Structures are given as C-alpha cells and as structure tokens.
Amino acid sequence: EAGVAQSPRYKIIEKRQSVAFWCNPISGHATLYWYQQILGQGPKLLIQFQNNGVVDDSQLPKDRFSAERLKGVDSTLKIQPAKLEDSAVYLCASSPDQISTDTQYFGPGTRLTVL
Amino acid sequence: DQQVKQNSPSLSVQEGRISILNCDYTNSMFDYFLWYKKYPAEGPTFLISISSIKDKNEDGRFTVFLNKSAKHLSLHIVPSQPGDSAVYFCAASKAAGNKLTFGGGTRVLVKP
C-alpha cells in the first residue's frame, strides 16, 4: 500500500513570495489533514478535510493560507504572501475516516524556508 | 498556550535499559492520548494510545501509563534498542477522532 505522498520535499523562497504544497493521501482515505511543525515544536493542525469538505480550519491563518481538496482526493496548501515565521515543515496526513485517530498516516513533509 | 507539554527535550539511555518519557497536559477535556515516533526526514508514525477509562496500555516493549488526577502520562520502552532512537511526540484529543494537540517532542538516543 502506497503511503502519503507530498511534494516538493524542500522549498526555499523569499518573504512575500507565494508557495504551494501538494499532498496525495492513501487511496480510499476520506480524511486529510495539514499540519505545520515549527522547529522544536510538535505538529499543529492547520486544516482537516472530510472528503472535499472542511471539518476544522480554526488554526489556519486565513489571511495568507488557503487549502483545497476539490475532488476529495489530493490536496493543495498555499501560502500567499509568505512571512519569515512560516518557515516550518508542512505535514500532510490521512486516515480512513474522522473517527480513526490512531490511524492517521503522515507523509514525509515539505520543509519550507522563508528568507 | 501549550496544552500538552513534554518537559524533557532529550533523553539518552543505554541499550537494554528502560526509557521513560513524560508528558503533562492542562486541558481536563482531553480523554484520549497517543504517542508518535518520528525518524529524521520522515513523518510521525503512530506508536500506542490510551483512553481515559484506562490507566495502562501495553504493546510489546511499549507501555503507556495515564494518571488522570495528575494530568500526566508516560511512555516506557523496555528494553530500549538502538532502533528506538527517534523523536517521540505525545498527543491528546477530546475524543478518539477529534483534533490532535501535540507536545513539543522528546529526542531519545539509545546508545549501544
């Protein structure tokens, strides 16, 4: 079974530029999560999708971050414009459904550096 | 406001000995707790969980203990192996399936 795929693995941009990250969850997984992990901290949930609907985006900085999962499969997270404090690893995770907290499978992440 | 805290950023232990990782939480609404393990350049992987109706859960070399009155949980790894060297995250939610709140992680080094 293929795992959660993310691309790119690394990205370096200058502040005020835009960037987009892509995630392809495990086949058949209805729930998809985007997390931000700042160096030295634990992952923080940014947004949770159930199929193509948003379940929780309470911690997403909506003035600059956006995410979509149009067909209920893969997802894109965008930052526009980026700030220095957005430097972090962006993790995507998926699970079969909303109830299966134990079975959140994480991708390898995208490491973003904002200069 | 850190609702889940792992106060030890790192831990070094000899192979074969016990590793004890600690985690404290402040939100009394949390009733489901998990431990994740993370290797460099990989995403976290689920290790073990415990519901608030239990005070202990065991899976092979890994045991999680929950003390609800103290709002404290711990992960015991016995015996520790070099392959256990990783960062361990404690996480909590208000129910299975709800949003996870993670601690800052503890880096474990198991020396041969």
B73-86 confidence digits (pLDDT tens): 999 999 999 999 99
Which of chain B's residues have a Cβ under 8 Å away from the Cβ of A99?
96-97
Compute the distance between CA of residue B59 and CA of residue A11 in angstroms, rounded to an integer. 38
Taking an 8 Å cut-off on Cβ atoms, the answer to whether A106 and B100 are in contact is no
How distant is the Cα of B68 from the closest Cα of chain A, in angstroms?
20
pLDDT score for A1 = 66
Which of chain B's residues have a Cβ under 8 Å away from the Cβ of A105?
43, 45
The edge-to-edge listing of strands for the beta sheet with B4-5 is B4-5, B19-25, B72-77, B62-67, B56-59
pLDDT score for B75 = 98
Compute the distance between CA of residue B88 and CA of residue B37 in angstroms, rounded to an integer. 5
Tell me if chain B has a CB within 8 Å of the CB of A30: no
B33-57 confidence digits (pLDDT tens): 999 999 998 999 999 999 999 999 9
How distant is the Cα of B85 from the closest Cα of chain A, in angstroms?
17
A81-112 confidence digits (pLDDT tens): 999 999 999 999 998 876 665 678 999 999 99
pLDDT score for A72 = 85
Instruction: Provide the pLDDT confidence category of residue A2 given band limits of 50, 70 and 90.
Output: confident
E strands present in chain B: 4-5, 10-14, 19-25, 32-38, 45-51, 56-59, 62-67, 72-77, 86-93, 101-102, 106-111
Question: In Å, how far from its chain's centre is CA A13?
Answer: 18
pLDDT score for B94 = 85
Compute the distance between CA of residue B64 and CA of residue B34 in angstroms, rounded to an integer. 9
pLDDT score for A106 = 93
pLDDT score for A49 = 93
Alpha-carbon separation of residue A78 from A23, A31, B14 (angstroms): 12, 19, 44
Tell me how crowded residue B90 is: count the other CB atoms within 10 A of its CB: 27
